[in-house]
Chains A and B, each alone.
Chain A
Amino acid sequence: MNYFEVFELPRLLGIDMNALEKKFHELSRKYHPDYFSTGSIEEKQKALEMTALLNDAYRTLRNPVRRVEYLLSLEGFKPDGSKVPKSFLMEMFEINEQMEEVHSGSASPEAVAALRADIEGRAAEFDSQIEDASQEWDRLVKAGAPDVELRSQLSRFTEILSSSSYIRNLERDLEDAG
């Protein structure tokens, strides 16, 4: 059973968060190990596995990026580093140099704040790119678009995700630096 099937949802990226949460609670009440504590070993094992699957599905589908990553893995696509544009890599190189200064403590508080704002701005930009691409995917699926168009859209996702993973790493780096 894949994560969309767990929630009885079509393989679309636009998901109503309130409905997802409601379904999550409903299924938790059905499968949770707490309700099988006095049951047989098989019942307990099944409850554990079903609830783990449910939780994994919820964790993945409620997050727009993880949702796309999951769709790609279902469709046999992987984020591909070679699709990252050269100009973007040059920018990343510069940001990394600034990050070095933050780590070594030689950056001024203003420079750190500016770097933080830059990174956060780029992260937000990627979020909106993913959002737009997700809507496009749903539109294509609903319109019954030919396979080649669907695959090109999936390939578009791998580009966005590959680039955004650089930004996510930078965000984490900045967090670690305090």
Chain B
Amino acid sequence: MSRIVGIDLGTTNSLVAIVENGTPRVLPGQDGNKLVPSIIHFEESGDVLVGNTAKARLVKNPRNTIFSIKRFMGKGLDDIREDLALLPFEISSDSEHIIRLKIFGRDYTPPELSALILRELKRNAEAALGEEISEAVITVPAYFNDAQRQATKDAGRIAGLEVLRIVNEPTAASLAYGMNQHQHGTIAVYDFGGGTFDISILKLSEGIFEVRSTSGDTHLGGDDIDEELIRLVMREMGGSPDPSVIPELRKAVLLAKESLSSQEFAEIVVESLNFRRRLTRDEFNAIIAPIVERTMVPCRQALKDAGLKPESIDEVVMVGGSTRIPLVREKVQTLFGRVPHTELNPDEVVALGAAIQADILSGGQREMLLLDVTPLSLGIETMGGVMSKIIPRNSTIPASATEMFTTYVEGQTNVKIHVLQGERELVKDCRSLAQFDLKNIPPMPAGMPRIEVKFLIDADGILNVSAREQRTSKFQSVEVKPTYGLTDEQVESMLLASFEFAESDIEARQVIEARNEAELVLAATEKGVRNEHFRGLPAEEQTGIAASVSRLQEVMKTDSHTDIRAAIEQLSANTQNLAELIMNSAIEKALKDKRVREIDNEPPTNLDKH
């Protein structure tokens, strides 16, 4: 059985980790870095770069360089309108229920783009472990709704990974912390990342990690702090600059933000706009205070839902890059009245926890067990646009509820069920999840059919629905129309497209490699031709070499790596004699040189003995 990796698919950075000999570790990429920036760059040629190489192109080529795609997962156009002002992306008109980014004339959905990041992580893990990886545990913010979780699972599938489990980020982090400390008691995990905020309250006892409550905001993170600073710069410069300079602006404020975590002041420098500004930590704190305060609201809610007071929390654990900010640490410490834990690298702790969960699933260890909850109440639409809750938030998952439905009209064969997530009373204030269509109900008088519908939230926090007509005991077919998301068929066709994509990728890589080799061979041949031994070759050998050189130069212009390779072979064969002659004389010369040097190195003979 192949090994299962744990993946933290982050807004800013993504990581892949694995448990080896009972210890989790992050697997570095080919460039040696553990963090893979969640950035994707598209070249006009169709080549795709992911991670640090893509990040390097962010400023120069903003339109074709995609970042923070996690914020778009499971969202429709209305959800992200506000963000778009500061994002240089082109959105396709067909984005009402699922965002489509237009890149070189092709539409990409967030799951497809996330799949490119996952594929890079998969490749990195395969290179580091020397084996194929096909199964993974992927983390998501605890407060992610059904559509966002499903979108993450779809991304895994498109990347060629079977997602064995979706795990909540704060709970994953608690596994990584709990593993080192074998603690008991109640802990709060404060997870403030690049794009999302989560708080989870857990009770630990004898290896069981039981989540008592969770709350959060899936649109609150370091990105919001950056955007506040970008607005500051824009205000001070007067007017909004060309959208294409925003990435440079973003980079400049990011640098300032990061250095303010350890320095008392920093400078925002935007060279192309000739902008320079000193920013003190006090000023910075004043700017971000409202954002940090927003994280306190879910914290209080989670405490209330768990029926706990801040003083009953035994330990507080900090996760996510934004917890490096001193003001954030200060506020958390004030709320809970204790110094939060920051021992583990906040960028890595979620990936390490994901690897531990992967290890549990693969049967590696049975000591720890995570019992997580659903962050949002699940309900169905009833008469008058009212949402009727059937599974309350903070229910341990898997969780289920059974409801009875019937018909209103004689002979009615269809019943529609509208499923929602949220805490508000009215349907319009909740998040529409899907429309379920119960079909082929046996025709009966109105009110006679008794259709038992079972709503089951699985261990990934994703809803499954099954239905049975009680009188006939027949399972009813349920047709699902996700409100925000892809149908199974769409995911399937994206999966197929990604295979073609991967194949054309390999093809393109092989052509590039063949061309590179051809260039090396041609350069060597050119050198050889200038060598004195070339003139000593028989005439037909000389013309043979010239012919195969021009043949190789010709096929190098094509995209056939097999033709290029064949031409390289031919040239190598034709130059073999020449190469040997040159080599031999080089060896002779080297030996001669050596002798000369050895003689040189002998202690000078004193000729003058006087």
Residues of A that sit less than 8 Å from B by CB: 25, 28-29, 32-35, 37-38, 48, 51-53, 55-56, 58-59, 172, 176
A32-B369, A34-B370, A37-B362 in contact; A48/B396 too (CB < 8 A)? no
- CB distance A52 to B400 under 8 Å? yes
Distance A29 CA – B424 CA, assembled complex (angstroms): 35
Q: Is B164 among interface residues, defined by CB-CB distance under 8 A?
A: yes
Q: Are B400 and A34 in contact (CB under 8 A)?
A: no
Are A35 and B395 in contact, CB atoms less than 8 angstroms apart? Answer: no
- Partner of A25 from the list B164, B205, B361, B398 (CB cut-off 8 Å) is B205
Is A55 in contact with B396, judged by CB distance below 8 angstroms?
Answer: yes
Q: Is the interface of A mostly helix, strand, loop or mixed?
A: helix
- The interface residues of chain A lying within 8 Å CB-to-CB of B164 are 37
Q: Mark B410-453, 1 if CB is under 8 A from A, else 0.
A: 00000000000000110000000000000000000000000000
Task: Indicate whether A55 sits within 8 Å of B399 (C-beta atoms), given known contacts A25-B206, A34-B459, A37-B164.
Answer: yes
20 contacting pairs across A/B (C-beta < 8 A): A25-B205, A25-B206, A28-B369, A28-B371, A32-B371, A34-B165, A34-B361, A34-B369, A35-B366, A37-B164, A37-B165, A37-B363, A38-B1, A38-B363, A48-B456, A52-B400, A52-B456, A53-B400, A55-B397, A172-B425
Beta-carbon nearest neighbor of A35 in chain B? B366
Query: Is the CB–CB distance between A33 and B459 below 8 Å?
Result: yes
Q: How far is the CA of A51 from the CA of B395 in the complex (A)?
A: 12
What residues on A are CB-neighbors of B371 within 8 Å?
28, 32
Q: Is the CB of B397 within 8 A of A48?
A: no
Q: Beyond the given A28-B369, A32-B371, A55-B399, please list 4 additional residue pairs across the A-B interface where CB-CB is below 8 A.
A: A25-B208, A37-B361, A37-B363, A52-B399
B459 touches A59 (CB 8 A): no
CB closest chain-A residue, reference B368 = A34
Is B458 part of the contact surface with A, judged by Cβ < 8 Å?
yes
Dominant SS among interface residues on chain B: mixed
A48 lies within 8 A of B206 (CB) = no
**Inter-chain contacts of A33 with B (CB < 8 A):** 398, 458-459
> CB-defined interface of B169-211 with A at 8 Å, one 1/0 digit per residue?
0000000000000000000000000000000000001101010
Complex Cα–Cα for A56 and B396 (A): 8
B243 to chain A, nearest CB (A): 37
Give the number of chain B interface residues (Cβ < 8 Å): 29
A interface footprint on B355-370 (CB within 8 Å = 1, 0 otherwise): 0010011110010011
Chain B residues contacting A59 (CB-CB under 8 Å) are 392, 395-396, 399
- Residues of B near A58 (CB, < 8 A) are 396
Given A48-B398, A52-B456, is A38 in contact with B206 using a C-beta cutoff of 8 Å?
no
Residue of A nearest to B398 (CB): A52
B208 touches A28 (CB 8 A): yes
Whether A48 contacts B363 by the Cβ 8 Å rule is: no
A25, A29, A34 — most chain B CB neighbours (10 Å): A34
Q: Which residue of B362, B395, B425, B459 is within 8 Å of A48 (Cβ)?
A: B459
| Residue of B164, B395, B399, B424 contacting most chain A CB atoms (<10 Å) | B399
Query: CB-nearest residue of chain B relative to A48?
Result: B398
Q: How far is the CB of B409 from chain A (nearest CB, A)?
A: 26
Q: How far is the CA of A48 from the CA of B357 in the complex (A)?
A: 17
Q: How far is the CB of A42 from chain B (nearest CB, A)?
A: 16
**A55 partner residues in chain B, CB cutoff 8 A:** 395-399
A172 to B386, CA, bound (A): 15
- Inter-chain CA distance A25–B456, complex, in Å, is 21
Restricting to B327-362, which residues have a CB under 8 Å from any CB of A?
A: 357, 360-362
Question: What 0/1 readout, one digit per residue, does chain B (455-480) give for beta carbons within 8 Å of chain A?
Answer: 01011000000000000000000000
8 A Cβ contacts from B361-406 to A = 361-363, 366, 369-371, 392, 395-401
**Cα distance, A29 to B210, chains bound together (Å):** 12
* Docked complex Cα distance between A176 and B366 (Å): 42
Q: Are B399 and A56 closer than 8 Å at their CB atoms? A: yes
* Closest 3 pairs between A and B when the two form their complex, measured CB to CB: A37-B361, A52-B398, A52-B400
Q: Which residues of A contact B362 (CB under 8 A)?
A: 37-38
How far does the Cβ of B396 sit from chain A's closest Cβ, in whole Å? 4
Cα A63 to Cα B22 with chains together (Å) = 38
Minimum CB distance partner of B135 in chain A: A37
Closest A residue to B460 by beta carbon equals A33
Q: Nearest Cβ distance between residue A91 and chain B, in whole angstroms?
A: 22
Question: How long is the Cα–Cα vector from A172 to B392 in the complex, in angstroms?
Answer: 13
* Residues on the A chain within 8 Å of B205, using CB: 25
Q: Nearest Cβ distance between residue A145 and chain B, in whole angstroms?
A: 31
A15 to B362, CA, bound (A): 36
